[in-house]
Amino acid sequence: MTNPLYDALFAPHEGKTTAFVHLQDGSTLSHAAFLDIADRTAHALVALGVKPGDRVAVHAEKSPQTLALYVACIKAGVVFLPLNTAYTPKELDYFVGDSGAVLFVCDPAQADAMAPIAATAGAMLHTLGADGAGSLSDLVACQPGTGFAAVSRSADDLAAFLYTSGTTGRSKGAMLTQENLLSNAQALVDVWRFTADDVLLHALPIFHSHGLFVATNVMALAGGAMIFLPKFDLETVLARLPQATTMMGVPTFYTRLLDDPRFDRDLVGHMRLFISGSAPLLAETHRAFEARTGHRILERYGMTETSMNTSNPYDGERRAGTVGFALPGVEVRVCDPETRAELQVGEIGMLHVRGPNVFKGYWQMPEKTREELQDDGWFITGDLARIDADGYVTIVGRGKDLIISGGYNIYPKEIEVFLDAQPGVKESAVVGVPHPDFGESVVAVLVPEAGATLDLAAIETAARAELAGFKRPRRVEIMADLPRNTMGKVQKNDLRARFASVFQPKID
């Protein structure tokens, strides 16, 4: 009986009394204690009737118990589906229903709001709070501890679903297999030189690829420990950095640290490695970081469908503004976006990736899958890139209409559909423009219907009810018409240029 992901990441640490998770309150869970919770949780899943291949949708705060639920799902052969804690009930309704989840785990405080969602989807509802308490935990507490036999899985069996929005229409459930996750963890431990001596400062959310697979799977495989913080809080991060050897973050983490004079060479001289990803790290941030700390941030590039694809080298030159080389086992190429013919060194085109990291497809969307994942295994990322003569990949832009704010993806189409449905709105356009803290932020342009006066406060209230907070426009502009080309297509570049400096600090 084998379960490749569990066998490689967790089985070697069963019974180990060294630390795995250091919590914010100063307490620590050993590998053995953590895996004991995971085993009990796996027993609880079975007691609830959850079967191998079933989906478990999880909308719960970051905690060791939530992480143990992830490990329990792997061990029980169940597909783990984490959901952004900022999602509103309206957003969650789709994910729980579309995935066909049999169990929906939510925060105890939201149980009443979530009950209709679970009922409509025909899923059981259980709760798990930030403090680890809830109806699921009550069930976990009465289960036997160690001794849950890992359910046999093949490399091609699904381990997780992560939903990613699309440039048009519905969000897509990216199906990730055991091999996808395992091969990526192995490549990253290798290229980033993680060992059991490492302590990772973990301030990322665990409902996305970065905080869950990159950070957690890497630390599990390496057998090291994590300082597991509920979120990125500057004071806590500054206080805990002295106990860490490595940190992973989105660029906003690093710009926030640089904004604080206490973040200096003395504080982080002992650190082995800082890694950045999920959004472009400005070359100027890379340089400012080195000037302040002596460390060159290691930037890597990935996405939900593929986990990580490229990384700057550990030993060689970490080149500012680039995302480095293809990971071992991963191929990258740049192609003409229309003909898909491979382009020459240095030419800009659509980035394609292929390898054991590339997902199996979108859940119940064979046509979408065919559009983006070719029969020969190449996945069309939607990112525009060039590869230079030394093999460094630079992401130069996006072929997809996507805004990345503080590491979270926002698809303008989704916000436009919401705005277009508001009273008095004839049409809308949403663009991302530079933002000093989030990298990019959302500007919405509204065109009122003839004679209508828009009630912006009412639109804001509706947005709070329907959209996760990070998606809400941070600036709303009213225009009589949207700029269009001769084909009638909205000229978003015009809008981006027009509003390029609305979030920039004014220079006197």
- Using CB under 6 A, which of 252, 255, 276, 293 touches ligand MLC? 252
Which part of the chain contacts ligand MLC (CB under 6 A), choosing from 66-74, 238-246, 290-298, 403-411?
A: 403-411
Tell me whether residue 58 or residue 402 sits nearer to ligand AMP (CB atom).
Answer: 402
Question: What mask of x and - would describe binding to ligand AMP in positions 361 to 400, judged by CB under 6 A?
Answer: --------------------xxx-----------x--x--
Which residues within the stretch 109-168 sit at the binding site for ligand AMP (CB under 6 A)? 164
Half-sphere exposure of 422 (CA within 13 A, CB side): 26
- Which helix (H) or strand (E) segment holds residue 220: the answer is helix 218-222
Which residue, among 180, 229, 490, has the nearest Cα to 327 in the 3D structure? 180
Q: Is 307 in the site for ligand AMP (CB under 6 A)?
A: no
Binding residues with ligand MLC: total (CB under 6 A)? 22
One-letter identity of residue 490: V
Q: Kindly indicate which of the ranges 275-283, 312-320, 428-436, 464-472 contains the residues binding ligand AMP, using the contact rule CB under 6 A.
A: 275-283
From the list 52-60, 237-245, 271-279, 493-501, the region that binds ligand AMP by CB under 6 A is 271-279
Report whether 148 contacts 76 (CB < 8 A).
yes
- Name the E strands within 151-306: 158-164, 172-177, 199-202, 225-228, 246-249, 273-276, 298-303
Question: Structure tokens of 497?
Answer: 């240029």
**Rg of the chain on CA atoms, in Å:** 23
Among 67, 140, 160, 303, binds ligand AMP (CB under 6 A): 303
- Least distance in angstroms from the C-beta of 441 to ligand MLC: 6
Per DSSP bridges, beta strands 246-249 and 273-276 are parallel
Pairing of strands 331-335, 349-354: antiparallel
Among 278, 312, 322, 428, binds ligand AMP (CB under 6 A): 278
Q: Which of 166, 223, 355, 406 binds ligand MLC (CB under 6 A)?
A: 406
Please report, as residue ranges, which positions from 313 to 332 form the binding site for ligand AMP (by CB under 6 A). 323
| Contact partner at residue 164 from ligand AMP, ligand MLC, none, CB < 5 to 8 Å by partner kind | ligand AMP
Q: Is 302 an interacting residue with respect to ligand MLC (CB under 6 A)? A: yes
| The only residue of 153, 172, 208, 319 in contact with ligand MLC, by rule CB under 6 A | 208
The 8-class DSSP code of residue 217 comes to I
Single out the segment in contact with ligand MLC by CB under 6 A; choices: 75-83, 299-307, 352-360, 412-420: 299-307
How far is residue 242 from each of residues 144, 169, 247, 268, 269, measured CA to CA in Å?
38, 46, 11, 7, 9
> DSSP 3-state assignment of 425?
strand
Report if residue 252 touches ligand AMP, rule: CB under 6 A. no
> Is 470 near ligand MLC (CB under 6 A)?
yes
Binding part of the chain for ligand AMP, among 32-40, 180-188, 277-285, 493-501 by CB under 6 A, reads 277-285
Minimum distance between the CB of residue 357 and ligand AMP, rounded to whole angstroms? 12
Q: Which does 299 bind (CB under 5 to 8 A by kind): ligand AMP, ligand MLC, none?
A: ligand AMP
Q: Which of 390, 391, 409 is nearest to 400 (CA)?
A: 409
Looking at the Cβ atoms of 314 and 470, the one nearer to ligand MLC is: 470
For residue 108, give every residue at least 6 positions away whose Cβ sits within 8 Å of its Cβ, in sequence order, or none: 127, 128, 129, 133, 134, 135
Measured distance CA(278)–CA(304) in Å, rounded: 10
Name which position in 63, 177, 183, 304 contacts ligand AMP (CB under 6 A): 304
Is residue 303 near ligand MLC by the rule CB under 6 A?
yes
Q: Which of 205, 224, 280, 361: binder of ligand MLC (CB under 6 A)?
A: 205
Q: Residue 42 binds which one of ligand MLC, ligand AMP, none, with CB within 5 to 8 A depending on kind?
A: none
> Based on CB atoms, which residue is closest to ligand AMP, 148 or 438?
438
Q: Which does 250 bind (CB under 5 to 8 A by kind): ligand MLC, ligand AMP, none?
A: ligand MLC
Give the whole-angstrom CA distance, residue 170 versus residue 161: 15
Strands (E), 234-341: 246-249, 273-276, 298-303, 307-311, 325-326, 331-335
Query: Long-range contacts of range 187-190, CB-CB < 8 Å, 24 or more positions apart?
Result: 187/308, 187/327, 187/328, 187/329, 187/330, 187/357, 188/214, 188/218, 188/308, 188/311, 188/327, 189/218, 189/221, 189/222, 190/328
Instruction: For residue 475, state whether it binds ligand AMP (rule: CB under 6 A).
Output: no
Cα–Cα distance measured from residue 265 to residue 315, given in angstroms and rounded to the nearest whole number: 20
3-state DSSP call for residue 414? Answer: helix
- 46 — phi, psi (to 5°)? -65, -40
Q: What is the smallest separation between the CB atom of 475 and ligand MLC, expressed in angstroms?
A: 12
Phi then psi for 388, rounded to 5 degrees? -90, 180
Among 131-139, 302-310, 316-324, 447-455, which window interacts with ligand MLC (CB under 6 A)?
Answer: 302-310
How far the first Cα of the chain sits from its last, in Å, is 68
Kindly tell me which of 224 and 324 has the beta carbon lying closer to ligand AMP. Answer: 324
The residues binding ligand AMP (CB under 6 A) are 164, 209, 277-280, 299, 301-304, 323, 381-383, 395, 398, 404, 409
**Binding residues vs ligand MLC (CB under 6 A):** 204-205, 208-211, 231-232, 250, 252, 277-278, 302-304, 405-408, 438, 469-470
